[in-house]
């Protein structure tokens, strides 16, 4: 399938996807000047910056997003650091073909600053969730989860870096499986079909 990666940060997950050979044909960032765009440029992947302030109304933002995705013939989405909630129209267009990575063991700590939320809560274990995107906030059926222990002296940076290492392993695996049509959704469960 032709994939677009939606970004907005350093792009370390985009890097991991590219290194894994994921068929990323377009990178869209909600923010200019971020590392992810530099990574896309270096890899020769076309990129578009779609800043929120250009389209203050979400429906208009997502109409522009859908137009760009459609023109590029994009069939599947991988969200990695894209900090905008997608409207129902986008979610429905890519239902079952959109993956997100989130730095916590969902349903704990959805939304922004999940690592900070976990530290502030004082949990002993947090982790990574890779899930399909549905209409809610970080609420879609889960493809992979892996725990990461919290150390007493952890900071946002130290814990984030161990979480990132897990993300870089799980997200490309999920994209590969979805790309190979090996993920089947049965209610809340994602079943991985044998090859």
- By beta-carbon proximity to ligand GRF, the closer residue of 93 and 127 is 127
Is the separation of the CB atoms in 28 and 4 below 8 Å? yes
- Closest to ligand GRF by CB, 63 or 158: 158
Does the annotation mark 113 as catalytic? Answer: no
The CA–CA distances, whole Å, from 64 to 45, 52, 114, 194 equal 19, 11, 28, 37
First-last CA distance in the chain: 17
**Rounded-to-integer distance, Cα 21 and Cα 39, Å:** 14
Q: Pick the closest to residue 51 from 31, 79, 26, 67 (CA basis).
A: 31
Residues in touch with ligand GRF (CB under 6 A): 7, 9-14, 36, 80-81, 101-103, 164, 167
CB of 194 to ligand GRF, least distance (A): 28
Q: Kindly state the smallest distance separating residue 104's Cβ from ligand GRF, in Å.
A: 8
Q: How far is the CB of 22 from ligand GRF (least distance, A)?
A: 13
**Cβ-Cβ contacts under 8 Å for 71 (sequence gap 6 or more):** none
Q: Which of 30, 102, 131, 164 is catalytic?
A: 102
Cβ at position 134, least distance to ligand GRF in Å: 16
- Closer of 103 and 172 to ligand GRF (Cβ): 103
Name the residue nearer to ligand GRF (CB basis): 114 or 177: 114
Pick the closest to residue 185 from 140, 149, 148 (CA basis).
140
Q: Which residues are catalytic?
A: 102
């Amino acid at each position: 399938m032709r994939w677009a990666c939606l970004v907005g940060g350093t792009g370390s997950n985009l890097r991991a996807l590219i290194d894994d050979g994921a068929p990323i044909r377009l990178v869209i960032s909600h923010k200019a000047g971020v590392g992810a765009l530099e990574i896309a440029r270096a890899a020769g992947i076309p990129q578009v910056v779609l800043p929120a302030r250009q389209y203050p109304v979400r429906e208009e933002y997502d109409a522009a997003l859908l137009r760009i995705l459609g023109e590029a013939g994009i069939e599947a989405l991988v969200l990695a650091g894209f900090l905008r909630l997608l409207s129902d129209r986008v979610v429905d267009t890519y239902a079952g073909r959109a993956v997100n990575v989130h730095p916590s063991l969902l349903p704990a700590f959805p939304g922004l600053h999940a690592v900070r939320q976990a530290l502030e809560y004082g949990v002993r274990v947090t982790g990574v969730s890779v899930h399909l995107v549905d209409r809610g906030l970080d609420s879609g059926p889960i493809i992979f989860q892996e725990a990461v222990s919290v150390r007493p002296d952890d900071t946002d940076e130290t814990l984030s870096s161990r979480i990132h290492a897990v993300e870089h392993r799980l997200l490309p695996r999920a994209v590969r499986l979805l790309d190979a049509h090996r993920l089947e959704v049965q209610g809340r469960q994602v079943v991985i079909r044998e090859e």
